[in-house]
Amino acid sequence: MSSSSNRRLNIVLGVIQELSGEELRAIPPHVFMMLVQGLTPDQFKTVLFMKNVKIYGGVNQYVDDFFGKRTVEQILAMGPGPRRESTTPGALFILKNMLEDPALTQTNKERVSAAIASLEALTGGGTRRRRKTRRRR
């Protein structure tokens, strides 16, 4: 990780801390994307998580919104394919960050842990290998 991306991360996290949830919500997407330009993918995910926690007023409220949108159920209902494969890692990142937050209540810890286990079960397996057979002439 370069020192310039670390500096950039510190600047962006400082902006998130200084602004209120309503002010963060009012930032247009193109302005937010300019703000996070130059961050690594993991740094971007961290910034997005911190921004959402601030917007929702805390990690427990963010958990309630996350589960209220039925995100995990929607991912589990998707058939195998590129959409599920691209959605699952992001959801797992968010859920693991939620679990690490010390302000998370015990009830929400259980909900988040169960969601992580169900999503990790999706990524553990692969598709069944099928052997091509030759046609006899």
Q: What is the pTM of this model?
A: 0.75
Q: Give the integer Cα–Cα distance in Å for 63 and 105.
A: 10
Q: What angle do CA 52, 102, 90 make, to 5 degrees?
A: 40
Question: Within its chain, how far is the Cα of 13 from the centroid?
Answer: 17
pLDDT digits (tens, 9 = 90+) for 34-44: 989 989 988 99
pLDDT digits (tens, 9 = 90+) for 20-70: 999 999 999 999 999 899 899 889 988 999 999 999 999 999 999 989 988
pLDDT tens digits for 102-118?
999 999 999 999 999 98
Domains of the chain, residue spans: 3-124
Per-residue pLDDT band for 131 (boundaries 50, 70, 90) equals: low
Largest CA distance in the chain: 74
